[in-house]
Structure 1
Amino acid sequence: MTAFAIASLLLDGEVVPAVIRDELVYDIRTALPAVARTADLFGDWDRNLDLLADHLDRGAAPAGGIETLLADRRGRMLPPVQPVGPVIAAGANYREHIIQMSVAHGLGSDGASPQQLRAEAAAEMDERIRTGDPYIWTGLASAVSGARDDVVLPDVGHDVDWEIELGVYLGRTAHRVGADDALRHVAGYTIVNDLTVRSLVPRNDMAKIGTDWFRAKNQPGFFPTGPWLVPARFVPDPGALAMRLRLNGEVMQDSSSADLAFDVPALISYASSVAVLQPGDLLITGSPAGNGSHWGRFLTDGDVMDAEIEGLGAQRTVVRGASGELPPWQASR
Structure 2
Amino acid sequence: MRLARHGSAGAETPLISGSDGVWHDLRPVVGDLTGDTLPSVLAGVDLDALPVVERPGRFGPPLSGVGKVVCVGLNYRQHASETGAAVPDEPIVFLKAADTVVGPDDPVLIPRGSVKTDYEVELAVVIGREARYLPDEAAAAACVAGYAISNDVSEREFQLERGGQWDKGKNCETFNPLGPWLLTADEVPDPQALGLRLSVNGQVRQDGSTSDMIFGVHELVRYLSHFMVLRPGDVINTGTPAGVALGLAGTPYLRAGDVVDVEIDGLGRQRQTFEEA
Q: Verify same fold: TM over 0.5.
A: yes
Alpha-carbon contact 1:37-1:83 (below 8 Å) kept = no
Aligned equivalent of 2:61: 79
Q: CA shift at 1:37, angstroms?
A: 1.4
Q: CA shift at 1:14, angstroms?
A: 3.5
Structure 2 residue corresponding to 1:65, chosen from 34, 55, 70: 55
Q: What CA deviation, in whole Å up to 9, does each residue of 1:53-100 have, x standing for no partner?
A: xx22x375412122xxx2xxxxx2211011222100001100000100
Aligned equivalent of 1:18: 15
Alpha-carbon contact 1:308-1:315 (below 8 Å) kept = yes
Structure 2 residue corresponding to 1:194, chosen from 131, 152, 156: 152
Aligned equivalent of 1:325: none
Identity between Structure 1 and Structure 2 (%)? 36
Distance 1:193 1:78, change over 3 A: same
Structure with greater helix share of residues: 1
Which segments of 5 or more consecutive residues in structure 2 lack a partner in the other structure? none
AA aligned to 1:179 is E
Alignment partner of 2:173: what SS?
coil
Q: What CA deviation, in whole Å up to 9, does each residue of 1:137-191 have, x standing for no partner?
A: 1010111111010011100332100000000000001011122311100000000
Q: What CA deviation, in whole Å up to 9, does each residue of 1:189-247 have, x standing for no partner?
A: 0000001100111355x5xxxx2122101001000100010000111110110110011
Q: Give the distance between the partners of 1:151 and 1:201, measured in 2 at CA.
A: 18
Alpha-carbon contact 2:25-2:51 (below 8 Å) kept = no
User: Do residues 36 (structure 1) and 31 (structure 2) align?
Assistant: yes
Q: Give the distance between the partners of 2:208 and 2:229, measured in 1 at CA.
A: 31
AA aligned to 2:113 is V
Distance 1:59 1:174, change over 3 A: closer
Q: Give the distance between the partners of 1:12 and 1:320, measured in 2 at CA.
A: 17
Alignment partner of 1:243: what SS?
strand
Q: Give the distance between the partners of 2:228 and 2:206, measured in 1 at CA.
A: 31
TM-score normalised per structure 1 = 0.77
Structure 2 residue corresponding to 1:253, chosen from 191, 203, 206: 206
Q: CA shift at 1:11, angstroms?
A: 5.0
Q: Give the distance between the partners of 1:276 and 1:219, measured in 2 at CA.
A: 25
User: Do residues 273 (structure 1) and 226 (structure 2) align?
Assistant: yes
Alpha-carbon contact 2:151-2:176 (below 8 Å) kept = yes
User: Where does structure 1 differ by over 6 angstroms across 4 or more consecutive aligned residues?
Assistant: none
Alpha-carbon contact 2:119-2:245 (below 8 Å) kept = yes
Aligned equivalent of 2:109: 152
Alignment partner of 1:82: what SS?
coil
Q: CA shift at 1:23, angstroms?
A: 5.3
Distance 1:274 1:13, change over 3 A: closer
Q: What CA deviation, in whole Å up to 9, does each residue of 1:25-61 have, x standing for no partner?
A: 311123x1xx1111243343542xx2x2xx22x3754
Aligned equivalent of 1:303: 258
AA aligned to 1:191 is I
TM-score normalised per structure 2 = 0.92
Q: Which has the larger radius of gyration?
A: 1
User: Do residues 7 (structure 1) and 7 (structure 2) align?
Assistant: no
Q: Give the distance between the partners of 1:135 and 1:294, measured in 2 at CA.
A: 18
Q: Give the distance between the partners of 1:262 and 1:273, measured in 2 at CA.
A: 15
